[in-house]
Structure 1
Amino acid sequence: MRIKTCLLTATAIACFSSPALAAPGDPIVIEEGWTLDLQANTRLRYETVSQDNAAGDADALTLRGRLGAELAHMGFKVLVEGEGTAALIDDYNDTQPGNGVEPFSVVADPENMELNRIQVSYSDEGFTGTLGRQRVIMGNARFVGNVGWRQNEQTFDAARLQVGTGPFKADAVWAISQRTIFGVDSPNEYFDGNFVFLNAGVDLDVVDVTAFSYIVDYDTRDAFSSQTFGATASAAVPLGAASLDLSATYATQADAGSNPVDYSADFISLTVGTTIAGFNLSANYEELGSDDGVAAFQTPMATLHAFQGWADLFLTTPATGVRDYNVGLRKQFSLPGVGNVTAAVIYHDFDSDFGGIDYGSEWDASLGFKVGPVGLLLKYANYDANAFAVDTEKFWLQAEYSF
């Protein structure tokens, strides 16, 4: 604990107080044609969780640090990056079974020290290939992402090929291991298997269309093995001085590999947005369908925190599915002495897809701005269970700096 804390504190001090050591985006020239890009990130976050159950209120102050170096030569790059998290206040359930009874609500940021990424890549015009432990974000991360909200990032041991020419784009990933957010001391540190992610689309003047396929075949996590096929279309329709932003996604999912349940379920997402007087308004309907209550559409590799409420009550889809009706209001404005500030308020109403169950509702709000090079974020979530789960209230205060 003490060693981890000292290392991470040193990283934080270096990042927050010494940005002049390496200007952002300015790699070091070793010799002609060779560069070395030193990268660092530190994030200090205070998180509280209060739930209407027997678990005690959680208080977590965690410090996450990343240090990396990328050597580049003639389109080739080699990146090595370490990541660690220390708990400065640890009155929370960190999900680690070896830590005994922790009578608090969950904050899924365990203490951890690991090799986050180690990869080799090559890029040429319209082409990038990457091999090794890497960050993978497909589309908007609804099905495959890096779970960037948590302190320990999700990565994959994978081979990736990305190509693009004119309006056409394609992205193909074959992975053999999902390196989760739960850390090296957890039995859920990683899940091996055979995973294939495919995106291909065309970006036209009128509409952007992407077809996708996600094949998830776990070695041991059989209940989450699945095959998903679908497509997304988005368009911006002129509306006077503004525009109407439209997006629609449909997908179908069935069991795959050794999944013991024979099921089929649909995914639907419909979004309408516009900007009026500087306010961004959005309305969304998202459905993770159920096969008559037997099993539901699952997204075990997604960046789940970004969807269905920040309180994270639906990280695993209930067998009866989820229907999420949500509206959001966002605004950017300037404050003297602070600069640009981004504020957001979102309301969710949740129902089941099967069985007519009222899952409750949730209010989310956030405020983000910068003080010099340091990004600050205040964030709040309040879930009203309506007898489905438990009332949950969460608050975050976060500071982050990168170079």
Structure 2
Amino acid sequence: MKTRILAAALLASPVAFAHPAFAADKGFGDPVPVGDTLTFDPIIDARLRYEGVDQPTVDADAVTARLRAGFEIRHAPSHLSFLAEAEGTLGIVNQYNAFPFDVPGSSQRRPGFAVVADGESIDLNRLQVQYKTKTFALTVGRQRINLDDQRFVGSVAWRQNEQTFDAVRAEATLGAVSLDGTYAIQQDSIFGSESGPRRAMDGDFVFLQAGTKLGAVSVKAFSYLIDYDDPFAFANSSQTYGARVSGSFPLSKAVKLNVLASYARQKNMGQNPVRYEADFVLAEVGLGYNGFTLSGGYEKLGTDSKVGKGFQTPLATLHKFNGWADLFLTTPGNGLEDYYVTLAKAIPKVKAVQGLTANVIYHEFRSDVGNVKFGTEWDASLAFKTKKVSWLVKYANYDANRFGVDRQILWLQTEVSF
């Protein structure tokens, strides 16, 4: 009980951190020299968020506070560092269901409310040792892993509890070639310390990437092998092989063309009870002009129609893709096609705030097979900073078009980090 009271008091601190007087403390959080060769770098990341979900069946109102705190010690001559970081989340307004699955005896499983996957928890978020030079890095321990745009592997930083991995990761640059390899034995999930067996999933996870740059074009090949030990996760055991190409081309002094394409093939692995093969396809084109970016794309998470099993990405930062309303965190059995258009505007020259950005996104969802219309979605966000404090207003509006139920979500968020 005393531990929980202490944690609650500590986790209430994001409100204090967001105060302008605190943010104006110049130099706070900067590395502190300890002798001639050591530095001590404190880590503080505090976030306060309101998330409101409106559905015809169940609603939710959640106010949560999250604090990450720790430190990193670096020894320059040896290129070694040690990092330790704890993470805690407190539910201030608990009118939400923290878990989309059953957790016997948990007071956070509230089926009468919509899901907001920010359970109250106290966790060891990261604990790692790293050796790093200009051309090589080796990281051992519990760590954050974000690969490319996080479509296949990411830290899910959007949720209050971060996803990390107990892993060994090596990164190297050999001339024009970059190599990245990871072997992990545990996925520490976003659901936190109170989520029962889904707090962390054991297994063998291998992430391999090799890339190079050809002029303005970056080319990368990848493979992701996911083999779970836990029976409830067997259905997500898979092996994925693919490639990714991206590039940015100036069309004039003011106009830039951005292109992105990716293809991958996935099949079952380990003790997955379903034998299947499915494709992933991504194509995106964008134009940038005077702070505006207009882009359009197509993404397909295919399916094996013989067994009704779709292409899955269980280690991804899923909230970034297929709409912020989070309707398609698991690919439907008949697959998913997402046609989307994004308009973004960066407004740097505003005196009162810094980094002002606005985004509007439209999605149209269909099945890969069967020609099922899964509905449409509008997403919008406005973000800016005042000194060291970040602010965010974000909205998602999913229209089911008779496929299921409509969903609207509003987020109000403030965050400070050092």
- Is TM-score (shorter-chain normalized) higher than 0.5? yes
Where do residues 284-323 of structure 1 align in structure 2 (5 Å cutoff)?
Answer: 284-292=297-305, 294-323=308-337
Task: Flag the 1:231–1:356 CA change in 2: closer, same or farther, 3 A.
Answer: same
| Offset from partner CA, 1:262-312 (integer Å, 9 cap, x none) | 100000000000113432100010000011161010000000000000000
TM-score normalized with structure 2 length: 0.92
Between the two proteins, the alignment pairs up a number of residues equal to 401
Q: Which amino acid aligns with 1:315?
A: L
Where do residues 1-400 of structure 1 align in structure 2 (5 Å cutoff)?
Answer: 2-10=5-13, 13=16, 16=19, 17-19=21-23, 23=27, 26-53=30-57, 55=58, 57-73=59-75, 74-95=78-99, 97=103, 98-99=106-107, 101-187=110-196, 188-220=198-230, 221-241=233-253, 242-292=255-305, 294-333=308-347, 334-400=349-415
Q: Which amino acid aligns with 1:170?
A: L
Q: What CA distance in whole angstroms lies between the structure 1 residues aligned with 2:403 and 2:265?
A: 26
Task: Flag the 1:22–1:227 CA change in 2: closer, same or farther, 3 A.
Answer: farther
Q: What CA distance in whole angstroms lies between the structure 2 residues aligned with 1:15 and 1:204?
A: 44
**Contact 1:144/1:302 (<8 A) preserved:** yes
**Contact 2:14/2:415 (<8 A) preserved:** no
Q: Which amino acid aligns with 1:6?
A: A
Taking only aligned residues, the RMSD between alpha carbons, in angstroms, comes to 1.7
Q: What CA distance in whole angstroms lies between the structure 2 residues aligned with 1:141 and 1:340?
A: 23
Task: Flag the 1:46–1:30 CA change in 2: closer, same or farther, 3 A.
Answer: same
Q: CA deviation at 1:25?
A: 6.8
Q: CA deviation at 1:46?
A: 0.6
Q: What CA distance in whole angstroms lies between the structure 2 residues aligned with 1:204 and 1:344?
A: 31
| Offset from partner CA, 1:1-36 (integer Å, 9 cap, x none) | 543321112465357554577826731111111111
Q: What CA distance in whole angstroms lies between the structure 1 residues aligned with 2:353 and 2:133?
A: 40
What secondary structure is seen at the aligned counterpart in 1 of 2:304?
coil
Q: What CA distance in whole angstroms lies between the structure 1 residues aligned with 2:383 and 2:402?
A: 33
Percent of pairs identical after alignment? 48
| Offset from partner CA, 1:358-396 (integer Å, 9 cap, x none) | 000000000001122211000000000122231000000
Q: What CA distance in whole angstroms lies between the structure 1 residues aligned with 2:395 and 2:17?
A: 29
Task: Flag the 1:59–1:21 CA change in 2: closer, same or farther, 3 A.
Answer: same
| Offset from partner CA, 1:342-371 (integer Å, 9 cap, x none) | 001000000000111000000000000112
Q: Where does structure 1 lack aligned partners over 5 or more consecutive residues?
A: none
Q: Where does structure 2 lack aligned partners over 5 or more consecutive residues?
A: none
What secondary structure is seen at the aligned counterpart in 2 of 1:261?
coil
Q: CA deviation at 1:139?
A: 1.1
- More moved, 4-13 vs 39-48: 4-13
Q: What CA distance in whole angstroms lies between the structure 2 residues aligned with 1:90 and 1:170?
A: 44
Q: What CA distance in whole angstroms lies between the structure 1 residues aligned with 2:345 and 2:323?
A: 19
| Offset from partner CA, 1:63-87 (integer Å, 9 cap, x none) | 0001011111131001000000001
**Contact 1:117/1:155 (<8 A) preserved:** yes
